[in-house]
Amino acid sequence: MNFKSIFKKRNYNYFFQLIKPYNDSVRNIPTDISEINDIDKLSDYFDVTHYKKIVVVASGPSSNKIKLEDDALYICTNSSLQLVKKQSFIYIIHDPYYLTIYLKSFPGYQFWKGTVFWIVNNNSKINNTSFQKVFRYLLKKSRIKKEILITDFDYNENSKTLDKSLKTYLKSKFDFQYKSINSGFNCVLIGCVLSHFNNIPIEVFGLDMGEGGDVYFNKKANIGKSIKGENNKIIVKDFLLKAYQSDINIINYSNFMNYENGK
């Protein structure tokens, strides 16, 4: 055992969250997403067409460029929540650390529209751990807004149908075969699907893939392979190029492959 790691702030917080009780925003009622089984219903639940544009906010340093607007729908992940929590937002997570904090401590902010966990079975320990955490929670718990598990793990048919619908849409409209990389990339993929489906513009901040240094928007960090690994950069680049060539109106303000298409 690495005893030094026990006393790192992140590890201490993780273990504290594991043992603490759920906060007051959690109800002892199983989650019900029985009426959300396709992209159309997902869009309707989040009221996407009510907004002028979708803004994806990952956690990279370029997220500090963001200028908040009341008529935008924000899609955020991990700590980028802190940038947009006073605006209308969807929260997307699948990292075990942030999942644990969310499940135990998320307060349910006023403008929170709901949460999406997109966790696929790619034979990785991280995704399996994340799925088990969410699965155990959803069986007995919920919050006032929908917490939607999208997965090809053995959970329920709606979750599998949503997973298949998103992957099929990405393939048919963007010629992209879904790959699980990190939460920020999931935000971009879901954001682009909702943008295309509803014909509204999308902007991207913070998908920096390590460009700009070992730093998040709010602090220095040890950036891992899920963000700056070369294979993952190739996958993200592949999707972004296809998004830029697609029918969506997209502006990417991130440090990695930033782009304004002028539509």
DSSP assignment of 4-44? HHHTSHHHHHHHHHHHSPP-TT-BSS----TT--SHHHHHH
pLDDT at 19 over 90: no
Residue-wise pLDDT for 81-122, tens only, equals 999 999 999 999 998 889 999 999 999 999 999 999 999 999
pLDDT at 5 over 60: no
For residue 126, the number of C-alpha atoms closer than 13 Å in the C-beta half-sphere is 13
- Cα–Cα distance measured from residue 191 to residue 188, given in angstroms and rounded to the nearest whole number: 5
pLDDT at 126 over 50: yes
Looking at the chain, the whole-number percentage of residues with pLDDT higher than 90 is 76
Q: What does DSSP assign to residue 148?
A: E
Residue 8's contacts (CB-CB under 8 Å, 6 or more residues apart) are none
Residue-wise pLDDT for 46-72, tens only, equals 999 999 999 999 999 999 999 999 999
For residue 129, the number of C-alpha atoms closer than 13 Å in the C-beta half-sphere is 9
How far does CA 246 lie from the centroid of its chain? 22
Looking at the chain, the whole-number percentage of residues with pLDDT higher than 70 is 85
Confidence of residue 222 (pLDDT cuts 50, 70, 90): low
pTM: 0.91
Residue 9 has what pLDDT? 58
Residue 8 has what pLDDT? 60
pLDDT at 16 over 60: no
